Structure 1
Amino acid sequence: MKEYLSETKSIDYMNPIIQEKVKELKEQSSDDADYIKRAFLFVRDEIPHSWDIQTNTVSRTASDVLKNKTGICWTKSCLLAALLRANEIPSGISYQLLTIGEDDSFGHMIHALNTVYMDDLDKWIRMDARENVGDDDEEFSLDKDYLAFSPREEFGEVDYQDNNPDLDEKLINLLEKTENLLEMELDF
């Protein structure tokens, strides 16, 4: 469990800007469950996905996302993990392989979301702070997975249902060499 509480280069929760947001969220929260919900809703609703707003800004770390007020799913998941880990709530990153377009004609991309250990339930759940996309109007729940996308097998989409302590090194390297987010090579 220790690795899901550790600070990493991508999940830089000791950064002062992260610590300031953690303090603000803690002051508003009644308990850990409320804190998790507030952190999730903040990342989902207050941090727009970079491609949705068509910005070329590249956020590479959790603190970059908070400072730039935007990030792609990979780094939005780093921000949520940072906010949770800073409050001693274990969190990881899980991946899905999704199509770039409506079908597989444009290839596939990696989508990242979070895992969170619910101590009271003695289990991991997954939550996706990408933004509420599609027709899913289901209420946020700490009892079951809350995902933005349901992979479509007919287009080669995959839900890996994995749990990683940090952002994948290939994704970190891709972000580091990208100067303009809108020009980043996505097909995996």
Structure 2
Amino acid sequence: MNPYLLPGKYIDFEDPGIAALARQLSHDAASEHALVDRCFRFVRDEIRHSADFKLNPVTCRASEVLRHRTGYCYAKSHLLAALLRANGIPTGLCYQRLSVNDDGVPYCLHGLNAVFLKAHGWYRVDARGNKPGVAAEFCPPTEKLAFPLRDPNERDLPEIWAEPLPIVVEVLERFSTYDQVLANLPDIALIS
């Protein structure tokens, strides 16, 4: 579990702002469930999704996401991992491969988290941000993610990563505006 508890370049929970927020969210949390739910709801509801709200700058590090209060799904997952790891809860990064327009090509990765809950084991949670047609919740043991798989080439990628995928970081660091990222969303080829 150690890799899922450590800070990193993008999950930088040693940042003073993240450390303070992590303490604030854990204050009086009666259980692990309550703490994870508080952190999840904060990221889902208080951090605006860059494309939904047409917001710049493009963020990648958890501390940037918190400072600017915006991020793509990937960046929001970095912040949720940072808040949970700061509170000693093992948290990883997960990805889905989804159709961008729900009708085949093009495809892109979607970022979310896996949290290790003592009562349930690894549990995926998606703090992307709700909107009409998207209603992600924290309700273990049932997963309620933002996007169901609908297309034969969509996938839930099974890996749980301790650090973000390089292709995701490359896109978030290369482009400076939300619309540039939207036009260049990261994707990976599926192995047959």
Please say if residues 115 and 125 of structure 1, whose CA atoms lie closer than 8 Å, have aligned partners that are also in contact. yes
- Once the two structures are overlaid, the 10-residue window that deviates more, 130-139 or 88-97, is 130-139
Q: 1:95 to 1:8 in 2, by over 3 A?
A: same
Please say if residues 112 and 126 of structure 2, whose CA atoms lie closer than 8 Å, have aligned partners that are also in contact. yes
Which residue does 2:13 correspond to in 1? 13
In 1, distance between residues paired with 2:22 and 2:14? 10
Q: Which amino acid aligns with 2:167?
A: K
CA offsets per residue over residues 139-173 of structure 1, 9 Å max, x none? 6313232311111134x211113211111112112
- Once the two structures are overlaid, the 10-residue window that deviates more, 89-98 or 23-32, is 23-32
Shift of 1:71: 0.4
Tell me the TM-score normalized by structure 1.
Answer: 0.91
Counting matched residue pairs gives 185
**Match status 1:181 vs 2:178:** yes
SS at match of 1:52: helix
CA offsets per residue over residues 63-115 of structure 1, 9 Å max, x none? 1110000100001000000000000000001101111113124x111101000
In 2, distance between residues paired with 1:152 and 1:16? 41
**Counterpart mapping for 1:1-188 below 5 A:** 1-105=1-105, 107-121=106-120, 123-133=121-131, 135=133, 140-154=138-152, 156-184=153-181, 185-186=184-185, 188=187
Q: Aligned-residue CA RMSD in angstroms?
A: 1.7
Q: 1:159 to 1:30 in 2, by over 3 A?
A: same
Instruction: Report % sequence identity.
Output: 37
In 1, distance between residues paired with 2:144 and 2:89? 17
Shift of 1:181: 2.3
Tell me the TM-score normalized by structure 2.
Answer: 0.89
Question: Unmatched 5+ residue regions in structure 2?
Answer: 188-192
Q: 1:182 to 1:28 in 2, by over 3 A?
A: farther
The structure with more strand, counted as a fraction of residues:
2
